[in-house]
Amino acid sequence: MPFVNSLTSEKTQLPDSVGITITFDRSDDYEERINMLLTNGAIGLLLVILALGLFLELRVAFWTTAGIPVSILGSLFLLPAMDASINMISLFGFIVTLGIVVDDAVVVGEEIFP
């Protein structure tokens, strides 16, 4: 558990009169949700590149696949500008949006293929 390790290192820097106690730890829940997002993203990228590469053209598959991480990373860069944080609700939104983006990527790739 990396959070507990950093907590014990913080305890050594505090004076003796100050203490830190974990009252509610949701780091495992966040880690599971982030791993689910990464796994679903990797599977989605693989499916898009395979489906479009097999049935259309590799160039279309590449550019369509490149748009998926760009859209997710773009939203991650905009979170601080909008004063938003990564919490359980935003991670759930990323997972749902990932499915929508992958589906739309296939539809757009098929539509622009001559």
Tell me whether residue 1 is in a domain. Answer: no
Alpha carbons 1 and 25: distance in angstroms, whole number: 11
Segment-wise mean pLDDT, segments of 10 residues, the chain, 114 residues: 62 76 78 86 86 84 83 85 83 82 80 75
Tell me whether residue 48 is in a domain. Answer: yes
Determine the structural domain holding residue 62 and report its residue range: 26-112
Alpha carbons 94 and 16: distance in angstroms, whole number: 42
Tell me whether residue 83 is in a domain. Answer: yes
Domain count, the chain: 1
- Contact of 12 with 27, CB cutoff 8 Å: no
Tell me whether residue 3 is in a domain. Answer: no
Structure confidence at residue 91 (pLDDT): 81
pTM of the predicted protein model: 0.66
Tell me whether residue 32 is in a domain. Answer: yes
Tell me whether residue 20 is in a domain. Answer: no
Tell me whether residue 86 is in a domain. Answer: yes
Tell me whether residue 10 is in a domain. Answer: no
